[in-house]
Structures are given as C-alpha cells and as structure tokens.
Amino acid sequence: MSLIRQVWLLLLALMLAALLGSAAVSALSMRQLMQTQLQLKNNDNAAALALAMSQQGGDAQLMELLVSAQFDTGYYQSVTWRRADGSVAFERQAPAKASTAPAWFVALTPIEVPPGSAKVSNGWQAAGAVEVRSQAAYAHDELWAASLRMAVLLAALGLLAAGAAHLALSRIRRPLDNAVAQALAVVQGQYTLVDEPRVPELARLAQAMNAMVAKVRQMFEAQAEQLEVLRRQAHCDALTGLNQRKHFLAELESALSRDDGPARAGLLLLRLRDLEGLNQQLGRGTVDQVLSALGHVVAVYPERVNGCLAGRLNGADFALWLPAPDVAQDTAQALSQALQAGLAGFGSAVQVAMGAVELARERPLSDWFGAADSALARAEARGGFAVEVLSTPADTSIQGERAWRTQILDAIAARQGRLREYPVLDKQGQLLHLECPLQLQLEPQAGYETAARWLPLAQRSRLTAEVDLHATALALEAIAQDGRPRCVNIAPASLLEGGFVARLREQVFHAPQAARKLGLELAESAALQHFELLQEMGRQLRPLGVKLGLEHAGPGLSHVDRLYQAGLDYVKLDAAVVVGVSGDAARAAFVRGMVIMLRSLALKVYAEGVVEALDVQALWDCELDGVTGPWATSQR
C-alpha cells in the first residue's frame, strides 16, 4: 500500500472518529438537556396543578376536573392525586407514546425522568399530593431530529475537511511524484531538474535530487569528454587531427555501401610535394607546421558539409571525399587557391598537387583510389599547385527526376515493395530483430531495385515520407504474420515533412500488437541536425511500444549535446567504428568507452557491418548487446 494511501486512510479514520465522537457527545449532551427540561416541566406543572387544586376548598369533584383537564392536554403519561394517607384519590393514565425515532436510537439514549410532585392543601390542612409524569416520546422525537441536523452539519464539515486534506496531500504528493519521475528519468538516461517546493522538508528532498542529477550529468559529460579523447587516439592523426588512413578508408567504405548516399560523389587526393626535401630544407618542425596548416584547411569541409570525409593517408598524402555530384572540380580549384594563400608564408618550395575524380557511388573502393591516383600523378607531373580532375560520364540510363518520381509513386500505390531481412544477433546467437531495408519494383516484370538506386532520387523529389510509410506498413504486416521483431529505416528528410510523424503514429496506432515489435531507425545525422524533431518523434511513438534507434552512429554522438533527452532505445555503431577492432587496442578502447557512455543512458548498443569472427569476439568482449552484418547473416 502506498504512503499516500496510508495517509489517506489515517486521515479518514481520524475524521470518522472525530465525527462519530462529536455526534455521540452532542447526542448525550442534548439527552441530558432534554432530561433536565422534562424534569423541570414535570415539577412546574405539578406545582401549578397543586396550587389550583388547593384553591377549590376541598371540593373533590372540582379537583378531579382539574386533574382531568391537565391530563387531556395530551403531553402526559399519568397525572395522579393521592390523599394524605398515600392512597390514590384520582388518577388518569395513558399508554406510553411510540417515538418516531428508531428503536436503536431510543435504546442508546434512554430518557428516564422521575415524576414531578407537589403538595395539595385545604386551608391549613393537608389534602394530599399530586404527581405529574410527562410522555418521554416527545423528548426522543426532538432528540432524534436534533441529532439528524447535527449529523448533516458534521458530514458537511467532514466533506470540507476531506477536500482540504485532498488539496494538502496533493500539494505534498506533487513533489514526491516529481522526485519519482526524476529518478526514473535518470534510470532512462535523462537528467532533468525539478522546481523546489515551498514545504521545507520536501524542498530539501528536491535539492538533494537535483544535486544528484547534476552530479550524474557531470559524470556523463566527463565520460563524453573522455570518449572524445579515446576517439582522437584511435581514429585521428596526432598532428593534423584528421582521420588516420585506416579509419578514413573504413568510413569511406561504409559511406559507399549505404543506401541513402548520392548517386555520384567526388574524391580528392592531395600530396605535399617532396616531403623529404622539405624536411632537409625547412626542418622537421617547420614541415610539421605546414602539414598542420594543410590539415586545418582540409578539415573545414567535413565541419561544414554533412557526410564529407577527410583523412591523412600517410606523411604527405591527404584525402577528401565529397558526398555530392558535380562539385569535385570546383572544390578542388577552391581548395588549391586556399592552400596557395595559406601556405605562402612558408616559401615557394611548399607546393601541393591535387587529383580529383567523380564516380558513381556503386563503384568499388579500388576504382575510386585508382582513378584518383591517376589524376594525382598527372598533377604532380605539371608542378606547382596543379589540379587534375577526372570524371567518368554519368549513367545515361538514369531517367529524369519527373520519371523517377512517377515510378516511385506508382510502385508505392501498387504496393510493389518488399523488405529484405538481415538479422541482428546477440551473444547467444538469438535473434534480436531483423533489419528490413525496402526494395521497390519500379518497372513491371522487372526485378526489385535496392534503395541505393532510387533513394537519392526519392530524397531529391521529397518522397522519403511516402517511402518510409510504405516500408513501415510492410513491416507491421510481416510482424503480424510471424511475430518476429523488425526495424525499418526512416530517412532524416522525412522528419522535415509536415504531418509525417502524425501519419506514422496513426499507422502504428491501428496495429497495437505489431507495434510492440517494430523498430524505427534514423541515421546519426538526424540527432545532430534535427534533434527536436527526433525527440518529438520519440514522444509520439514510444508510448505505443515502438522502439527508436540510431544507425551509422560514430564519433558524432559525442557532439549531440542532449543525447540523454533524445528518447532512444538503442544505437547501432557504424561499421567504420567497429571493423578491425580485434587488432587495434585503441579502437577497442574507444568502442568500450562508447558502450559505457551509451549504457549510462540506458541504451542498447549494437554493431553493424561486422564481417570477421575475430571482430565479433572482440565486440562481445566490449559487452555489446548485438551485431549485424555479413557475419550475422552467415550464422542464419
């Protein structure tokens, strides 16, 4: 039984005892008053009757008439005239009148009054005495009516007291509920502060809870800072702060394998000419300053452009990947001019050659670097701050935007879509859920196209909301059929579509059983760029049982200021973070740090894109909750 309920019962018992006690005391007091008044009435009436009889000169008939007249008024049970020797001279009696009060009330409040008595004389001689006994039923009737009035009054006062007690308890309960909600929020990884109540004892409780939450938040922030340090140690070049070669290649391969990337992109390779000669001519310290300045110029692009990647491949080589079509040449020229201006102070011997290439995103990584190396070799042959750009012709089979839009809408309307299923497994090999990317049949009698082909056009045509709603509907239907949990990808662009979350909520609301096994995943960029929209999506859907997660998560999580308020259930670490973790202690330390940070927010942590069994074992050692990727698929 809750404390508030116990207090309520205590207050009710006290109020009931007080009311019953007040009613009892009031009834007994009125009973005593009634007895006193009835006794006085008997005595007064007996004295008046005796005086009237004494004035009749001893005439027995007249005295009997006076007794009868007094009795006939109806309020007496008996009137008796006794002679001087004690014998009854004349008597009038009536049966005891029945009271209108309940029998139990009469039994609890008996009224017993002795009869009133007065002496009757005839001159100087005693003529006897008269006794008057009143009907007690009238007193009981009045006592019952008065008790009812008192009970109604006390009940009204009791209701007022109960209302006041309810308000007082509500005032006390509100801070206690806030403290409970605050504690539960901490368990869920949310650090909220509550207002201090005016009640001193509860104010101290709120102060203590706020201090605890602030301390936990400081610990989380310190953990995030430590994680950033681990990230730099594991992934970044110490001199320039750019990604190391291994991590840059892993991030680039992960970006090329995603469905939501552009159809074409650009890769730039930069090389500081004659690094060995510059070390001899300028000195290693000065060359380090040159490399740091070059890295600073290159780092501007990933800081300003979402999805852009930059890294230092070796001592003199840098790379920049541009996730957009038709920008490689302009970016290369602008970067060359910026480097000419930024490195001019180190002398004319400092020169940077640059090669750029633009290719279709589905080309393998070896083609990208082969073409970029070829362009870089041409630039080096020219000397100075030379720039060479190679671009393969665009796929002429790609249709216009209007045709793509029509095909996508027709495929959705005809329900020509299907979900591919990739398992996410825990350490025991049990299925946690199925990742379900959507494929569309865009042409009759043709095969299903992966999202890598049509999703960039859907994003450009602002059709991602319709696509995501279709994928969610398919997932709910599949869950209803076999009961296996599934998750679908939601494009961050869909959050920007007005009414998308409301339509998604209505769709989920009509499938309450399947909704409890549905997961919705958004890319890490959604938390970075649309945090408020992501938070609102969680508030709308999580109460219906839907799980909400982030995919392709990596170092960007440490830059989400209020990750603990995002309303997430799980996070999937990007393949670029987890691939190769078995042979790299620094990467393993970073992954373990991310797990600790995310676990402090009550989030499940999964790894995606895992290929090697050794990496899987290393991830289990880092205490991840599950893995997905080619390795997990091979286990099913």
What are the structural domains of the chain?
3-159 (3.30.450), 264-391 (3.30.70.270), 401-634 (3.20.20.450)
Give the mean pLDDT of the chain: 84
Higher confidence at residue 338 or residue 232?
338
**Both tokens of residue 577?**
């973070």
Nearest alpha-carbon partner for 372 in 429, 438, 321, 407: 321
Q: Check residue 266 and give its pLDDT.
A: 92
Percent of the chain residues past pLDDT 90, beyond the cut: 27
Asked whether the predicted pLDDT for residue 397 surpasses 50, the reply is no
Higher confidence at residue 611 or residue 20?
611
pLDDT confidence bin for 396, thresholds 50/70/90 = very low
Q: Check residue 398 and give its pLDDT.
A: 46
Nearest alpha-carbon partner for 574 in 358, 307, 319: 307
Q: Which residues, 6 or more positions from 145, have their beta carbon under 8 angstroms from its beta carbon?
A: none
Q: Is 434 exposed, middle or buried (0-12, 13-18, 19+ CB in 10 A)?
A: buried
Higher confidence at residue 396 or residue 351?
351
Place of tokens 């009125």: 30
Task: Compute how many other C-beta atoms are within 10 angstroms of the C-beta atom of residue 278.
Answer: 22
β-bridge pairing 309-312 and 352-360: unpaired
Query: Which of 7-11, 348-352, 410-414 bottoms out in mean pLDDT, i.e. has the lowest?
Result: 7-11
Higher confidence at residue 508 or residue 93?
508
pLDDT confidence bin for 632, thresholds 50/70/90 = very high
Nearest alpha-carbon partner for 466 in 456, 475, 458, 454: 458
Asked whether the predicted pLDDT for residue 395 surpasses 60, the reply is no
Mean pLDDT, residues 587-593? 88
pTM metric for this prediction: 0.66
Query: What tens digit of pLDDT does each residue of 225-273 get?
Result: 777 777 787 788 889 989 999 889 988 888 888 777 777 899 999 999 8
**Both tokens of residue 476?**
């709910």
Q: Check residue 186 and give its pLDDT.
A: 64
Q: Which residues, 6 or more positions from 176, have their beta carbon under 8 angstroms from its beta carbon?
A: 3, 4, 202, 205
Higher confidence at residue 439 or residue 188?
439
Asked whether the predicted pLDDT for residue 394 surpasses 60, the reply is no
Mean pLDDT, residues 193-204? 71
Q: Quick one: how many helices (H) and strands (E) in the chain?
A: 21, 20
Place of tokens 């009330």: 105
Q: Of the segments 76-80, 106-110, 265-269, which one has the largest average pLDDT value?
A: 265-269
pLDDT confidence bin for 459, thresholds 50/70/90 = confident
Mean pLDDT, residues 546-557? 87
Query: Which of 26-30, 122-126, 156-160, 465-469 bottoms out in mean pLDDT, i.e. has the lowest?
Result: 122-126
β-bridge pairing 352-360 and 264-272: antiparallel
Return the ∠ at Cα 99 (arms to 97 and 102), rounded to 5°.
150
pLDDT confidence bin for 504, thresholds 50/70/90 = very high
Mean pLDDT, residues 78-90? 83
Nearest alpha-carbon partner for 189 in 573, 538, 528, 576: 538
pLDDT confidence bin for 421, thresholds 50/70/90 = very high
Q: Check residue 626 and give its pLDDT.
A: 94
Q: Check residue 428 and give its pLDDT.
A: 93
Mean pLDDT, residues 171-175? 73
Mean pLDDT, residues 417-443? 92
